[in-house]
């Protein structure tokens, strides 16, 4: 006889929904803030679950984006602030794509 592992099915639809909201960031960043509010309000998720790791990844992505945008806003030279904004948006897009693909492949994010 061989041992079989028992996997419990986890509903990942919340993670997909929040990644979809995050990917709509060109709409004045309102969906990103709604995603952050929904993310923070999720207190009943098990701390070592797949969904929990993605929620933490999403929170870190959003809270990392905000300081970059603030820094870019307060840089007075346009030639300096535009690259900061572009870097922030590219970094945020990378985090969204990597996280969403990881959620599809059931990979925890750290």
Q: Mean pLDDT for the chain?
A: 90
What pLDDT band is residue 28 in, cutting at 50, 70 and 90? confident
Cβ neighbours of residue 16 under 8 Å, at least 6 residues apart? 100, 103
In a domain, 2, yes or no: no
- Give the model confidence (pLDDT) of 45-71 as tens digits: 888 899 999 999 999 999 999 999 999
**Structural domains in the chain (count):** 1
In a domain, 27, yes or no: yes
- Give the span between the Cα atoms of 99 and 79, in whole angstroms: 31
**Residue 1 banded pLDDT, cuts 50, 70, 90:** very low
Domain of residue 67 covers 13-104
For the full predicted model, state whether its pTM sits above 0.75.
yes
Higher pLDDT: 4 or 34? It is 34
């Amino acid at each position: 006889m061989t041992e079989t592992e028992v996997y419990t099915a986890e509903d990942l639809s919340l993670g997909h929904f929040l990644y979809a909201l995050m990917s709509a960031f060109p709409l004045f960043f309102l969906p990103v803030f709604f995603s952050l509010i929904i993310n923070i309000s999720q207190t009943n998720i098990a701390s070592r679950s797949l969904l929990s790791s993605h929620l933490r990844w999403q929170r870190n992505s959003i809270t990392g984006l905000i300081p970059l945008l603030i820094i870019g806003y307060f840089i007075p030279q346009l030639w300096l602030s535009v690259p900061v904004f572009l870097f922030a948006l590219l970094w945020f897009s990378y985090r969204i794509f990597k996280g969403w693909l990881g959620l599809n492949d059931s990979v925890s994010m750290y």
